[in-house]
Chain A
Amino acid sequence: MRHHLDDIHVDEEENEINLTPMLDVVFIMLIFFIVTASFIKEVGIDVNRPDAPMTQSKPEESNILVLINSNDEIWIDRRLIDPRAVRANIERMHAENPEGSVVIQANKSSTNKMLVQVMDAARQAGVYNISIADSN
């Protein structure tokens, strides 16, 4: 009788599924996904908030217009502004007209450094609604 039970036990053991190949596959998949997982943290400034309407639908006078010419000079309100003074100027104009958004009109050959600087200044002044006008 005991001999018979042992036979059954051996049979059962051999019937068990061998998990090793599956484990290999799962491990390789795991390594693949760990390696390809790119936890890139991009920092940046949103150009147009998704909820912000397009610039065309707004009355002209409610916007703070900032011009950047081809020599990377910043003009606000017909005056040449030092890049460091942009924030103060936008702050002042924003206080006069709190609903206005900032519209940046940049020349085609101006650099993007100046553009981002102006956008940053506007955000520092508390205006998060920034649009870039088509320069045509």
Chain B
Amino acid sequence: MRKKGLLSFEEESEEINLTPMLDVVFIMLIFFIVTATFIKEAGIQVERPDAVTADSQEDAAILIAISPNDEIWIDREERDPRVIRSVIERLHAENPKGSIVIQADEGSTHEMLVIVMEAAKAVGVTNVAIASDME
């Protein structure tokens, strides 16, 4: 419903100028696209061991959880110990710079941890950390 003449001019000046908002929204959009890292979460909660000297793992890309019953969870699915190597390989290819954090439950056995670490080493990930809680 456009009117000709003077009225049209008045209407136009009353309209809100969207350009600055659009600028802000675009900058936010770019920020979130750039910072989006898409961490592969393990899918279960584990009771992590306490540690005083734990560091924050900034570039964690793949989280591997070991449940108290020695089940290995990667990417929200329980995995067989024999296939974790190929799973890690696939996830590592998506983000080659990311490191692996193993969330081993307090009650999980060392055997499973070694299996996971061996798989990570076989894939070529050198940056492996064991998750812990800050005391």
Task: Say yes or no: A26 contacts B29, CB within 8 Å.
Answer: yes
- For the complex, what is the distance from the CA of A113 to the CA of B18, rounded to whole Å? 56
B13 located at the interface, meaning its Cβ lies under 8 Å from any Cβ of chain A in the complex: no
Known: A6-B4, A44-B129. A111 touches B108 (CB 8 A): yes
Q: How far is the CA of A109 from the CA of B35 in the complex (A)?
A: 40
CB distance from A131 to the nearest CB of B (A): 11
Q: Which of A13, A40, A116 is packed against the most chain B CB atoms within 10 Å?
A: A116
Nearest chain-B residue to A39 (Cβ)?
A: B35
B contacts with A: majority SS: mixed
- The 8 A CB mask of A1-43 against B (1 = contact, 0 = none) is 0000010011001000001000100110110011011101111
Contacts of B118 in A (CB 8 A): 134
Known contacts A42-B101, A45-B54: does B8 contact A50 (CB below 8 Å)? no
Q: Using a CB-CB cutoff of 8 Å, which residues 56-107 of chain B contact chain A?
A: 56-57, 60, 63, 66, 101-102, 104-107
The answer to whether A43 and B8 have CB atoms under 8 Å apart is no
Count residues of B near A (Cβ-Cβ below 8 Å): 54
Question: Number of contact residues on A: which range applies?
Answer: 35 or more
The answer, yes or no, to whether A97 is at the interface (CB within 8 Å) is no
Q: Give 1 or 0 for each of A87-122: 1 = CB within 8 Å of chain B CB.
A: 000000000000000000011111111011101100
Contact of A112 with B108 in the complex, beta carbons under 8 Å? yes
CA of A50 to CA of B120 in the docked complex: distance in angstroms? 13
Contact yes or no, A23 B18, CB < 8 A: yes
The answer to whether the Cβ of A56 comes within 8 Å of any Cβ in the partner chain is: no
Q: Which 8 A-B pairs have the closest CB atoms?
A: A33-B32, A116-B49, A123-B53, A113-B106, A44-B129, A108-B111, A120-B51, A112-B104
Q: List 15 A-B contacts (CB under 8 A).
A: A10-B4, A19-B18, A23-B22, A30-B25, A30-B32, A34-B32, A37-B35, A40-B60, A46-B128, A47-B130, A108-B111, A111-B110, A116-B51, A116-B132, A134-B114
Q: Which residues from chain A sit less than 8 Å from chain B, CB to CB?
A: 6, 9-10, 13, 19, 23, 26-27, 29-30, 33-34, 36-38, 40-48, 50, 68, 106-113, 115-117, 119-120, 123-124, 132, 134-135
